[in-house]
Each structure stands twice: as C-alpha cells, then as structure tokens.
Amino acid sequence: MSNFALEVDNLTKVYERQGQSPVRAVDGISFSVPRGEIFGLLGPNGAGKTTLLKVLATLLRPTSGAARIEGFDVVTRPLEVRRQISMVLQETAAELFLSVRDNLLTFARFHGLPAAEARRRAGIVMEKFQIATHADQKVQDLSGGSRRRVQVSKVFMVETPVVFLDEFSTGMDPILKRAVMGYLREESAKGRTIVLTTQILNEAEELCDDILIMNRGRQVARGDLNALKLLSAGVYEIVLTFDRLPETIAEDMARLGPLRSHIDDNTIEIALKVEEAQVLDIVSALSKKGRVLRVEVSGASLEDIFVELTKEA
C-alpha cells in the first residue's frame, strides 16, 4: 500500500462552454500528499483550487489524468473514495430545517456511525464548537457564523482518513478560527490527512506542512514554507513607522516598483524584489522623508511569495 493519502497525476479538467472557447480550470496538475499531512492549495480567485477539490471529492469527473484517494481512483472507484473523505464546501452547507444536533446525527448516520456513538460524539463536538446551547434550535434560526460552525463541526463527527476543507474559515470569528486550527493539528497528529484551500495566507503559513500554489489551473510552486521562501529569494519586506506620514511617500513607494505596498496611519509596508545590497539604501532613502520611529526589514512572507509567483504566471 502506498504511503500517500492522495496521488494526483497530470490531472486536467476542461469546462466546455457553448459558443465560447473551453476553459482549462485544472491543467496538468501532479502532486502527492503523505498520510497525516496538512496540505494547502493556494491560489487567487479562479486558480482552479475548488475545481481540483471537486474532482478529488468525486463531484466532478476529470477530463484527463488520474487521482487516487487512499489508493482508490476517483473515476473508477468513486464510492470507495467517498468512504475515505469528509468535506467542508466553500459555501455554507447545512440542513436548515434540522436542529443543530440533528445536523450532526444525520451526517454521522450517512457515514455509518451507530446511533449511540453518534449521540456521544455530537455532545463532544457541540461543546468543542460552542454550539451546545443551540443544540435543539433549527439551523435556519442561527446566525451565519453559527451555521458555519455547524458545517465545519461535522467533519469532527467522523474519522474519515482524508478531510477536504474549502475556505473553511470564511465567516468564522478569530477565536473560533484559532481553535479550529488547533483541532485540525490534533486530527493531523492522529494520522488524518487534511487538504485545505485558502486565500488567507497566514492561515496556510501556520497550518500547512506542504503548500501548492496554483494559478490559471497550473502549478506555479510547491513545497514547504522554507522551500517556497527560497523560490522567492531576493524579496524583502520593509516596514517604516514615521511620527507623521511624509506627503510624497506614496509616490516614492510607487517609484520603487513594489510587489506589494500598504499605508496604514503613519506606517508604510512595502515588499520589493531587489538585490540584498540595495535594501539598506532604500531604507535610508525612505527614512530621509521624515522622522522614523521604527524600522523593520524581513525576508519574504508567504503573501509576498504568493503575489510574486501568481503575478509572474
């Protein structure tokens, strides 16, 4: 048996559109994910992440190539694949006409959990996600954030070896998001493989053992955070806080051709791809524009790498 929970080989998904040219939403993607890993799929809107996830979850058939989940082919053994996975979709998915408890119990029944065990787990999961007080309330009467909790909590009702999370933190408050990230790490430590898509890059930076960056259906980079940072060698992030924002600072920043720039109050943030020797000159030049209270220079963040790679592609 392979050591990989997921094996994707030259996978392509083309959407045929009447009267328009076909769209290659996923274009020759190949990767594999070892068991127990948290794997991040990153990319801008329309990069093909959700389409790829839908193919892996047997919701879409690939146009060509192959994908296996726990050794089962998504095209020829879809039922076996579904037995290995649980999924949180990008959109909020919940049974609005059922109570919170019944949402969890129904999900558990579909995944073959005995009734008593399902009830026991539902109690634990509701406590974990702070929805126990709404246990008997219909989901249609809950706020959007609580509905999202119900949806995400469901994957903790079962022990499928692979979990797909498509933008799982959308609509979650920061405290719950942090807690869920902790639960995901626990699940991964138990051996579950977690595949997530996100556009919130610090989420991926904190959670993922391995990251694949996609753009226009293609892989543009792959590796752990350190490997990706090497790909982006020469990218520096400069943060300067002035006592008063200099008048021409926006123009000065634009002239440097930054990968990314941001002004917040008296603080400027700028990411640049430059030679190492130039960095101090740039800091020095910008510092002359006003009285500087704080200077910070660091290597590329995942966000810088993401912007650089997806822009190039």
Partner 1 sequence: MNPLAAIVYRESKIRATNTTFLFFDLFYPLLYLLVFGIGVNAALGAPSLNAGLDYNSFFLAGVLGMASLGIATTSSWAFFLDRDNGIFFEMLTYPMRRSEYLLGKVLFNICIGIVQAAITIAAGCLLLKIHLHWSALPILTAGVVGGTAGWFFFYATFALKIRRNDLFNSVVNVSYFVLLFASSMFYPLAPLPRWFRITALANPITWQVDLLRYGSIGLGAPRQILLEAIGFAIFALASFAYAVRSLREQG
Smallest distance from the beta carbon of 12 to partner 1, in angstroms? 15
The reply on whether position 93 binds partner 1 by CB under 8 A is yes
Residue 312 structure tokens: 């190039």
- CB 63, CB 130: distance < 8 Å: no
Tokens linked to 100? 């919170």
- Quick one: which segment of 106-114, 236-244, 248-256, 297-305 binds partner 1 (CB under 8 A)? 106-114
Assess 111 for contact with partner 1 (CB under 8 A): yes
Does residue number 167 form part of the binding site for partner 1 (CB under 8 A)? no
Select 80 or 209, whichever has its Cβ closest to partner 1.
80
Q: Which amino acid is at 274?
A: V
Q: Which stretch binds partner 1 (CB under 8 A): 111-119, 176-184, 203-211, 216-224?
A: 111-119
Give residue for tokens 């109690």. 123
Q: Smallest distance, Å, CB 81 to partner 1?
A: 9
CA distances from 10 to 41, 66, 107, 111, 184 (A): 16, 7, 33, 30, 28
Pick the closer one to partner 1 by CB: 102 or 209: 102
**Are the C-beta atoms of 95 and 103 separated by less than 8 Å?**
yes
CA dist., res. 29 & res. 63, Å (int): 12
Rounded least distance, CB 223 to partner 1, Å: 28
Backbone dihedral angles phi then psi of residue 115, each to the nearest 5 degrees: -55, -45
10: left (phi over 0), alpha (psi -120 to 50) or beta: left
Contact between 85 and partner 1 by CB under 8 A: the answer reads yes
List contacts with partner 1 (CB under 8 A): 54, 57-61, 79, 82-83, 85-87, 89, 91-99, 102, 106, 109-114, 138, 151
